[in-house]
Structure 1
């Protein structure tokens, strides 16, 4: 374990949990990397008065927001609540999204700085939102990106609300927008009601390192937006990367965030020579996240030890994502030791086993719901039964409760279930949207 502390910077610790022993001929090394940040909050406003954080609220104002009529009213109230939760000094803007993107406040391609006057003016502007037109989410994101580019803030966070599918642009245009915005800001995405596409909304959040969730009832939007803003206001450092160095002949097979949600970062690697690559983790406040790292190493032979990977947390200067890291926030080591001791070599580290199961749980839910939609009762029952068993074994009570709304559980320990004859669309979408939420592994006394 190692840590780093700098004036006005959260303190990071990095812990590595693994079974470093490998049997003869083995090449695959697994480790759980736990990163914890503490000491956020109370940082002074920069001397030049520039904001540390910027927020853009993107509100769906398409015609479907009038069905039912109170949907847009609750969206307006939620946006007002989010504006009210902004700290003094935070830069912000509001965007109305239809088949185009329009600046609602402050306008002029810029962001306002939050204080009593600008918050009041923004709330007044939001009260004038009306619903018409279609949905082109990529255009909303591109406008948010341009607004963020006008701010020097290191922490840049978007909130996107939609009630429908991205029907007025091609999937390719949305993907291009996400690719263009990735690394420039993070974004939480919310679907209100049940007429939106889970894969689409979850994909937006995943690409932009944010959270995705369903708000089935519009009246719950204000509480959800307020909670999101509380989390965002707690962020104190942005653009943190997980850097992996591997020795010559070794390579990274995958890097996945496994808590608090499952998020595959493998394809987001940016090279940092020599022998290193960076994986984006976004902004941090006081929180803990776990990452599953798998490295392929050359077989060094029985009795030999190898440093399989060096893990480091790095942060870059604001506005210079391609530049050198400004600081190393923490580091840890992943080891490989070859042995003929079968008991030592075949023991699975509890943390690795737990998170492997959590990733399988998310997969089983997605596959089971897909089979259910296709009418494959036997296949859906088997996969959702497997999900129930995994949720029970890992103590993931929140997911177990969501599964119980889709299947009748006869025996959770064995995964014996029956598909419910009738399932509400909201319950099915909630299970699918939240399938990637995990529970952290319970550390044993040996891990402390």
Structure 2
């Protein structure tokens, strides 16, 4: 039962590490044993460290600004965890000989790079952990490299399956899709970007711009912070990501949202900055879904 394997830590103190590589060791030891949804209470904690824990343990990360709100947030998390009826779901990708997987990223509802988490099943299949599922939709961006072929040739480049454990260790396929590669000499076709891919690539750029802007702001680099956070405002506006626009308004004064013209606020609360940072990886769902 997925609910029996859910942990919800809520740190209120920074988790300091004596060396950069050490935090991964204990996480590697427990990864896969349970899903961990993480909440930081107040501001006396590190966003990057909590996000690292959530990533390794396939859970969510968020901020609870006021300790008094923790009980309600905990109740909501518990209800969400209990609604996940299928535990240990894997995204299994089969590729033909000569092909390889460049990256695998979850792009909705949140951004998460799963590339390094894959486990090889056989010579042509790799499975990526996705945690427990309820009644929900997630989107993944997969980049493949296939051997060269002639114009007009077609090839099955990938078979994707969502797989859960069934009775006596058997696999239960929950969903599947196929990726077909077609070779063309039509520049219009070969350079066109799928609208869904373009949308989520923009959402990833938005998160990167927020992270870079906040880092520059903390370092006192006003010019870079203004440029990056302005770019984030423009991307959020163009994609209709109203939540991101509202969070960005906590750290910048917006003069032209479409163009991304902003001024840094002289006074920014730690709550506003950390909330923006924590929720920067939450994406806006594309209006029309054409991918997996």
TM-score (norm 1): 0.63
Within a 5 Å distance, the mapping from 1:375-414 to structure 2 comes to: 375-414=220-259
**Aligned residue number for residue 218 of structure 1:** 67
Deviation sequence 1:21-80 (CA, Å, 0-9, x none): xxxxxxxxxxxxxxxxxxxxxxxxxxxxxxx3444xxxxxxxxxxxxxxxxxxxxxxxxx
Question: How far apart are the structure 2 equivalents of 1:192 and 1:346?
Answer: 46
Question: How far apart are the structure 2 equivalents of 1:252 and 1:168?
Answer: 33
CA contact (8 A) 2:3 2:84 kept: no
Is the counterpart of residue 437 in structure 1 residue 282 in structure 2? yes
Within a 5 Å distance, the mapping from 1:289-304 to structure 2 comes to: 289-304=138-153
Name which one, 1 or 2, has greater alpha-carbon Rg: 1
Question: Segments of 4+ in structure 1 off by > 3 A?
Answer: 167-174
Deviation at 1:344, TM superposition (A): 2.0
Deviation sequence 1:275-309 (CA, Å, 0-9, x none): 01000000000100000010011121211111111
Q: Which runs of 5+ in 2 are unaligned?
A: none
Deviation at 1:342, TM superposition (A): 2.0
What's the RMSD between the two structures over aligned residues? 1.8
Is the counterpart of residue 193 in structure 1 residue 66 in structure 2? no
Question: How far apart are the structure 2 equivalents of 1:371 and 1:306?
Answer: 45
Q: Which runs of 5+ in 1 are unaligned?
A: 1-51, 56-155
CA contact (8 A) 1:381 1:417 kept: yes
SS of 1:220 mapped into structure 2: helix
SS of 1:383 mapped into structure 2: helix
426, 441, 445: which one pairs with 2:271? 426
**Aligned residue number for residue 416 of structure 1:** 261
SS of 1:435 mapped into structure 2: helix
Deviation sequence 1:309-336 (CA, Å, 0-9, x none): 1101111258x9xxx6521222111111
Which structure: greater helix fraction?
A: 2
Question: How far apart are the structure 2 equivalents of 1:336 and 1:172?
Answer: 39
Deviation at 1:210, TM superposition (A): 0.4
**Aligned residue number for residue 330 of structure 1:** 175
Deviation at 1:240, TM superposition (A): 0.6
Question: How far apart are the structure 2 equivalents of 1:311 and 1:353?
Answer: 21
**Aligned residue number for residue 341 of structure 1:** 186
Deviation at 1:343, TM superposition (A): 1.9
TM-score (norm 2): 0.95
Question: How far apart are the structure 2 equivalents of 1:298 and 1:53?
Answer: 40
Deviation at 1:274, TM superposition (A): 2.9
Question: How far apart are the structure 1 equivalents of 2:16 and 2:185?
Answer: 59
Aligned pair count? 291
